[in-house]
Amino acid sequence: MTPTNLPPGPFTEAIAEIRRLHSEFNAWKEPGAEFPDLLQIRKDLHALLYRHALELCDASEEAEARERTGGWIAVGEQMPSGDDEVLVASADGIAIGWLTESWWSVNGRLREVTAWQPLPAPPKEPTC
């Protein structure tokens, strides 16, 4: 049994494909069914595992890089999308800012920003 609350992504895609291959393999047990092409199923499974292993390695490397930098993204690496407010680091410290065309606006002033990161999610309301 596999967890059903996994977010969409490499894990859930891999699970779905493995289930499909498993069904193909077990289909030969049905009356009148032909024995499956085990070599092709094996090749498909190897390709699936290899592809998803590479995706997971890439995701792991990105997560490790974010952890090493404390979540900060250098402006030379990547810029935020649209007019999203983000945390920004500049010579003046850390503040909330956003990118307007090619300039950063921080507290209503244009600043030279060195790094940014998405704002954290707001706190959840207590349910009791």
SS (H, E, C) 44-92: HHHHHHHHHHHHHHHHHHHHHHHHHCCCCEECCCCCCCCCCCEEEEECC
Distance CA 69, CA 122 (A): 22
What pLDDT, on a 0 to 100 scale, did the predictor assign at position 2? 45
Distance CA 83, CA 97 (A): 9
Tell the residue number behind the tokens 């289909």, with chain if given.
Answer: 27
Q: What is the pLDDT of residues 79-120, one digit of tens each?
A: 887 678 888 888 878 888 888 766 777 777 777 888 888 888
| Domain residue extents for the chain | 10-68, 73-118
* Per-residue confidence band for 9, with pLDDT thresholds at 50, 70 and 90: low
pTM above 0.75, yes or no: no
